[in-house]
Amino acid sequence: MELTLTLDARSDKPLQAQVFDQVREIILDGQIKAGMALPPSRLLAERLRVSRNTVMLAYERLAAEGYVRARGTAGLFVEPIPPDSLLLIQQGSRSLTNGPVLDASSEPLLCFAGSPGGGGDRPELDFWVGRSDPAGFPLAIWRRIVMRLLARETTYLTDYCDPAGLPELRTAISTHLRRARAVAVTEDQVIVTTGGQDALNLVFNLLKGHTRQLCIENPCYLGASLIFRNADMEIHPVPVDGEGLRTDLLPPAKGSLLYVTPSHQFPTGATMPLARRLALLRWAEETDSYIVEDDYDSDFRYDGPPLTALAGLDGGRRVFYVGTFSKSVGAGLRIGFATVPRMFWDEARMLKARMSNGQAWLEQAALAAFIDEGHFDRHLRRLRQVYKARRDSLIGALRRTFDGAVVLGGESGLHLVWRLPSGYPPARQIQHLAREQGIGVYALSSGAAYYFDPGARDDMLVFGYSSLNETQIETAVGQLQRILLGQADRDEGTG
Ligand SMILES: Cc1ncc(COP(=O)(O)O)c(C=O)c1O
């Protein structure tokens, strides 16, 4: 099979990424059919005049993302994408009708340093989710950049900037997205926001006029649920399994807005495989729906290359991509962003002007310089190693201590889930017992996540591991074991 690829040696994009993107396009276009073989890497490399390694890396990524599969020594063969069964849209998810507003007195505050529970005190060994390591913040570089900016450009402090965000930052974000997530956007599709939460609100407000019902993962991120549950619209919570949102249970009615976290489902940590991603896009097309892809922690992937974002597969039609620097740099910056399909740009920029008329200049300018000067890439490379070591140590400690513990969602991000075996106390009870001993581990009901089924089995404990070092992790898991053994003894005593 001949593949016609055109590589540009002067492009910013690495050659292996160019090979990957172009072969992927050819497969998705149906130019190579399922079951057909890719040309051997040596042959393609000779034809393209690149090293064989370049082609092999691109091929490995195609295999990792499920476009092709190796058959022994016979080579790589194109997979059927997506399987027909996944495209059959069945009814099955329930719909709920909201009350008009939430009772704010009974809702936990979102990701505030004092949560869960509202008090400011934190347990000593705390696995609260999604906190970047304070010691990992690039303070010296940040200080240098800020001082330099303040010495040179103070007029920006007294002036308004583009409501969509500082142009340099939007350019830096779009370049990063193209390289890291294969999302082909330009700066005039990026709106800078106050963290990911503001971006979710922006997209919701932009689309609510086009929307008849809201679809959301169940369980899901509390912040997204707060927006959806506050809207006076029909909600369809869609169940999640080990491959993320169940696309076969999406409602077939026209005009939905779907919130989804395909790279690292929040909270279960599932990664959505390619076939489901494509099924989602087909569903959106067939039902004239829009998707909000929340890619909150995808800068951290430890095993294999990241899967192309939904927005990268969609070609700028139906996916609004939401990102945040809260995990990758620091939540205190309060910088996130949304990308919008071109046809929504004017409306989105106007909406942002109406909501807040732009963002603070200094943090945006500092972040733009941080990315442009290469510090961001170096920072991510360093933190990926630090967090991977912590993840390894947590998984190792859990499996050793709790005899082959089932751990989910550890391939990426800053948290994972331990699915408790039967016979263990409910996660909420373990959370309380651990808290009394200065250990913070969290049930899904603790505040970070939201379940539309209050009666669902309470057997998942969430561990955010990014701000504890390996020694603290080992100590905490050891203590957790003693707590659980103590509880088992007490249960036996009363049984
Ligand atoms: C799934 C998910 N989405 C979005 C966010 C938004 O974060 P922020 O508003 O801090 O940028 C978070 C934060 O924890 C999250 O966990």
Same domain, residue pair 372 and 385? no
What is the whole-number distance in angstroms between the Cα of residue 351 and the centre of ligand 1? 21
Nearest-angstrom CA–CA distance, 491 and 426: 13
Q: Which of 92-101, 131-140, 242-251 has the lowest mean pLDDT?
A: 92-101
Q: Is the pLDDT of residue 154 over 70?
A: yes
Instruction: Report if residue 233 sits inside a domain.
Output: yes
- Contact between 265 and 294 (Cβ < 8 Å): no
213 and 350 share a domain? Answer: yes
> Residue holding tokens 């292996």?
16
Question: 175-222, pLDDT tens digit by residue?
Answer: 999 999 999 999 999 999 999 999 999 999 999 999 999 999 999 999
Q: Atom 14 in ligand 1: which residue has the minimum CA distance?
A: 130
pLDDT of residue 331: 94
Q: What does the pLDDT read at residue 9?
A: 86
Q: Are residues 347 and 396 in the same domain?
A: no
Give the residue from 376, 399, 427 where a domain finishes: 376
* 147 and 209 inside one domain: yes
Whether residue 357 is found in the same domain as residue 407: no
Beta strand segments in 220-277, E: 220-221, 234-241, 244-245, 256-260
- Between 88 and 174, whose confidence is greater? 174
Give the model's pLDDT for residue 117. Answer: 47
Phi, psi of 291 (to 5 degrees): -120, 135
The reported pLDDT for the residue numbered 475 is 97
Same domain, 148 and 297: yes
Domain count, the chain: 3
156 is a domain residue: yes
The yes-or-no verdict on residue 347 having pLDDT over 80 is yes
The answer, yes or no, to whether residue 31 has pLDDT greater than 70, is: yes
Ligand 1 centroid – CA 128 distance (Å): 13
In a domain, 39, yes or no: yes
For residues 370 and 451, state if they share a domain: no
pLDDT digits (tens, 9 = 90+) for 456-473: 788 999 999 999 999 999
Does the pLDDT at position 12 exceed 90?
no
Distance CA 362, CA 219 (A): 37
Residue 111 pLDDT level (bands cut at 50, 70, 90): low
Least confident of 193-197, 300-304, 326-330, 416-420: 300-304
- Ligand 1 center–CA 112 separation, angstroms: 11
Give the per-residue pLDDT at 472. 97
The binding-site residues of ligand 1, defined as CB within 6 angstroms of any ligand atom, are 111, 130, 195-197, 221, 223, 261, 266, 294, 296, 324, 326, 331, 336
**Same domain membership, residue 386 and residue 361:** no
Question: What average pLDDT does this structure show over 271-283?
Answer: 96
CB–CB of 9/50 below 8 Å?
no
Mean pLDDT across the chain: 89
Span 384-413, mean pLDDT?
Answer: 96
Query: Do residue 161 and residue 272 come from a single domain?
Result: yes
d(CA 360, CA 401): 48
CATH number at residue 74: 1.10.10.10
Q: Quickly state the pLDDT bin for 33 (edges 50, 70, 90).
A: confident
For ligand 1, pick from 294, 299, 333, 446 the residue to mutate: most ligand atoms within 8 Å of CB.
Answer: 294
Rounded distance from Cα 135 to ligand 1 centre (Å): 20
Asked whether residue 62 is domain-assigned, the answer is: yes
Q: What pLDDT is stored for residue 290 in this prediction?
A: 98
Mean pLDDT of 222-227: 94
Q: What is the CATH number of the domain that holds 392?
A: 3.90.1150.10
For residue 196, which atom of ligand 1 is closest to its CA? 11
Q: Which domain holds residue 223?
A: 96-112+140-376
Q: Is residue 192 part of a domain?
A: yes
The residue among 478, 475, 474, 445 whose CA lies nearest residue 462 is 445
363 and 391 share one domain: no
How confident is the model at residue 95, as a pLDDT? 60
Q: Output the CA 23–ligand 1 centroid distance in Å.
A: 33
296 pLDDT exceeds 50?
yes
Average confidence (pLDDT) over 288-296: 97
Q: How far apart are CA 323 and CA 173, in angstroms?
A: 10
Q: 3-state DSSP call for residue 59?
A: helix
Residue at a domain's end among 357, 376, 395: 376
Q: Is it the case that residue 118 has pLDDT exceeding 70?
A: no
For 296, phi and psi rounded to 5 degrees? -60, -30
What's the rounded Cα separation, in Å, for the pair 82 and 90? Answer: 16
Judge whether residue 85 has pLDDT over 70: no
The pair of structure tokens assigned to 181 is 């997530």
pLDDT at 61 over 90: no
Q: Which residue has the higher pLDDT, 491 or 23?
A: 23
Ligand 1 atom at shortest distance from the alpha carbon of 199: 9
Q: Is 338 within the bounds of a domain?
A: yes
Give 494's pLDDT tier (boundaries 50, 70, 90): low
User: 376, 391, 421 — which closes off a domain?
Assistant: 376
Q: Is 258 within the bounds of a domain? A: yes
| Distance, CA of 376 to CA of 291 (rounded, Å) | 28
Best residue among 327, 328, 329, 335 to mutate for probing ligand 1, ranked by most atoms within 8 Å of CB: 327
Is 43 among the domain residues? yes
According to the model, what pLDDT value does residue 163 have? 97
